[in-house]
Structure 1
Amino acid sequence: MKILVIGSGGREHALYWKLKQSPKVTSIVCAPGNGGTDNNVDIAADDIQGLLNYALKHKIDLTVVGPEDPLCLGIIDTFQEHGLVIFGPNKHAAQLEGSKDFSKSFMVRHNIPTAEYHTYTDHRDALNAIASMKFPLVIKADGLCKGKGVIICETHKEAKDTLHEIYVNKQFGEEGNKVVLETFLDGYETSLLCFVSNNRIFPMETARDYKKIGEGDKGENTGGVGCYSPAPAFNNKVKANIDKILANIEVGLYHDDFDFNGILYVGLMIVGDTPYVLEFNTRFGDPETEVLLPRLQSDLVEIMMHVENDTLQQSHLQWDPRTCLTTIVVSKGYPGTYEKNIPMILNDDGLVFHNGTKRTETELLSVGGRVLSFVEMGDDLITLNAKLNERIEKLEFKNKVYRRDIGLI
């Protein structure tokens, strides 16, 4: 089979790495790829026509979409209209990630526990609403917003300023025309990624990611600077409640006439024994993918074809029982402004997924905020953390920043 992976981050490198292991694969290419994927084609992930032309010309047997933008632009629908096999949800299903109001409405309609919320399109109405709301308060711009559209406001002034940025200064452009105001939930987060085949849900193993840039979970939110799988075990009550949530999602997909095939990422907040759904994503999570795929013992190509053919069973998903931990090296200044095109020397024989790198003929350069994901597998987080820190110290990269407490807190 000829495989095309779309995207350029750590998630896409992990997908490329895992798919390449399948004996079914005769060739694999990544568009646009990065310094870790060794066969790249220079086509942007959101250039739907360019990707379609490439897939048709090279007779690609399976295309795998990494990031959310092309999914929300309808790449699945376009490829399928031309008879191509492509893994991911169609444009309608991708709205579960593309619109926070759409996904919250789905949750409420189908009895899926989530934080209380109200949606506003008018700045003044939103300002009036926050005057009577409790803090902390979560403000969400409705669209994708490059993953930066969720703001936790500790005070009324912060909320007022945030609304001003969204509505008046157009911080997120048209993606901020609609705003969701949401009750803050205080608990612990867990990520549960699921394969979905014809609206049927098949959960993967759990994962827990670290979003704060600073050690001790301090500082600004990021796209994720570390992760491990499996997450701490749930008690029986929490597990039963999560099973009920997944069942309700399935019922909702059928009831609302979805035709969902691909990945559904369920972001959970566990408060006491009650899990709440914070968000849906409709693609592999990043950095969750970097710790789930090393644990997946099954052939990923076979799983994706089972999804395509509506023959997937839970028994097709086999997992390494060991723990997988990743610590991500980021560029100094991230998640704010940072320098690009900084050379680095990576002398490492272990597993490393490239998040934001590119290769020239002579150098490996940093081009992203998140740069490299160092990965270890083993039996306990303390040992894995120590191994990762030791490996990362050997990385020659003047702007490297990383948390030394990933897996310890």
Structure 2
Amino acid sequence: MKVLVIGKGGREHALADAAYRSESVKQVFAAPGSHGMKDVATIVDIAADNIDGLVEFAKKEAIDVTIVGPEDVLANGVTDAFQKAGLTIFGPTQNAAQVESSKDFAKRIMADYNIPTAAYQTFSSYDEALAYVEAQGVPIVIKENGLKAGKGVTVALKMEEAVEALQIAFDIPDNQVVIEECLEGFEFSLMCFVCNEVVIPMEIAQDHKRAYDNDKGPNTGGMGVYSPVKKITPEIVESAMEQVMRPMAKAMVKEGAPFTGFLYGGLMLCEDGIKTIEFNARFGDPEAEVILPRLKSDFIQTILKVMNEEYVELEWDDDVTVGVVMASENYPQSSTKGAIITGLDTVDSRIFHMGTAFKDGNYITDGGRVLLVMASGATLEEAYEKAYADVHKIKCDKLFCRNDIGKKDMED
């Protein structure tokens, strides 16, 4: 079989790696991919947003199945185009991808189908949004509607933060904001293989969204992650499946937007039960880089069986995985390009390339989140020690990382 992975970041590197390990796969292509993915994929110089070019390539190469990484490509209708051309693709249609591309769409479905989530209202006017925030008080959560690459969310603890977030949001023409109550609890990520009403859960991970240690600083696309999460028991997972993931898949079918692909549930375990923070229409990043390496079942065969609406029992490695993101200085406000990275050939951990380029024999920075260092161990402590030992071997004066990925779980 031939597999095409669309995208170029760390998530796509992990998807390509999982496909490469599939016994039924002869060749993996990545478009546009990156030099760092060459260990598992043939790089194809076609941009992820060049949908016509991707369709033509898939037809020419007789690609058996295509897997989509980035959310913006899904929102732009890549699945619809592939399906129209008679090509097999694992990813939601443009209509179904609204579960991520429109926060208001997702919240409306959750409200209509009694899927537990934070109370909310959507606003298109700054004055109305401000009046609502002043009436509700802080803390409060302000989310810009639409795709924001894991950002565009402000957890405002002070009124000044809320006002600033609203000003930034409404400086964008025709923007909307979804304003939610601020939930308190333990956050975790639950990803599922989905086709219509068939929903197969994966192992749990916990992402660390804030930029700095001890959950300080602005929200990011994710600064590090670990899997599994001991606090989230099998009973809690089943409760999340019963209350959130299966009902959402069924609701999408009823809404005329059946979902096929990776459905991501960003969930919170609160005192009064599980609440849904958000849904994404694709695999989480950096979650992919610690979950997929633990998957012992054949990744591609699992996708094909799910697309045939078969239920699959997944096998997982018992090891714990820890992934530490090395990001550009000042991320998420800005990113760097061209800073030389050394030491990658000295590490024992798996390196996933999130935002690198290759020039004159050196890897260089080429984005906000640049590398993910992933280590595994029999315990969280062992995986943590291995990951950070290798992080310190990698040298680049333009990179920083959090030093506490998984540490809170070790202390609890």
TM-score of the superposed pair, with normalisation by structure 1: 0.94
For 2:355, the equivalent position in structure 1 comes to 356
Q: What 5-or-longer segments of structure 1 have no aligned partner?
A: none
SS in 2 for 1:259: coil
> Structure 1 pair 157/398, CA: closer, same or farther in 2 (3 Å)?
closer
For 1:226, the equivalent position in structure 2 comes to 224
Which letter does structure 1 place at the counterpart of 2:60? K
For 2:161, the equivalent position in structure 1 comes to 158
**1:145 and 1:378 mapped to 2: Cα distance?**
34
Note the aligned Cα RMSD (angstroms).
1.7
5 Å matches for 1:127-138? 127-138=130-141
Q: Percent of aligned pairs with the same residue?
A: 41
1:215 pairs, out of 213, 216, 219, with 213
**1:388 and 1:129 mapped to 2: Cα distance?**
45
Q: CA offsets per residue over residues 208-250 of structure 1, 9 Å max, x none?
A: 0111221222222211111011112336874453232134224
Q: CA offsets per residue over residues 285-320 of structure 1, 9 Å max, x none?
A: 001100110110011110111122222x131x1111
Whether 1:92 aligns to 2:95 is yes
For 1:52, the equivalent position in structure 2 comes to 55
CA-CA distance at 1:256 after TM superposition? 2.0
For 1:111, the equivalent position in structure 2 comes to 114
Does the CA contact (< 8 Å) of 2:328 and 2:370 recur in 1? yes
**1:237 and 1:352 mapped to 2: Cα distance?**
33
CA-CA distance at 1:266 after TM superposition? 0.5
**2:81 and 2:316 mapped to 1: Cα distance?**
33
Comparing 397-406 and 68-77, the one that deviates more: 397-406
> Structure 1 pair 236/69, CA: closer, same or farther in 2 (3 Å)?
closer
> Structure 1 pair 323/210, CA: closer, same or farther in 2 (3 Å)?
same
TM-score of the superposed pair, with normalisation by structure 2: 0.93
**2:283 and 2:67 mapped to 1: Cα distance?**
10
For 2:366, the equivalent position in structure 1 comes to 367
Which letter does structure 1 place at the counterpart of 2:70? P
Which letter does structure 1 place at the counterpart of 2:197? N
5 Å matches for 1:324-339? 324-339=321-336
> Structure 1 pair 382/237, CA: closer, same or farther in 2 (3 Å)?
closer
Does the CA contact (< 8 Å) of 2:348 and 2:390 recur in 1? no
5 Å matches for 1:226-305? 226-234=224-232, 238-239=236-237, 241-245=239-243, 246-305=245-304
Which letter does structure 2 place at the counterpart of 1:364? Y
Comparing 290-299 and 212-221, the one that deviates more: 212-221
Whether 1:191 aligns to 2:189 is yes
1:203 pairs, out of 201, 204, 216, with 201
**1:237 and 1:41 mapped to 2: Cα distance?**
43
> Structure 1 pair 62/236, CA: closer, same or farther in 2 (3 Å)?
closer
Q: CA offsets per residue over residues 143-197 of structure 1, 9 Å max, x none?
A: 1123322111222332222222222x21xx54xx221111001111000001102
**1:384 and 1:20 mapped to 2: Cα distance?**
24
CA-CA distance at 1:366 after TM superposition? 1.2
Does the CA contact (< 8 Å) of 1:385 and 1:404 recur in 2? no
CA-CA distance at 1:109 after TM superposition? 0.7
**1:113 and 1:218 mapped to 2: Cα distance?**
27
Q: What 5-or-longer segments of structure 2 have no aligned partner?
A: none
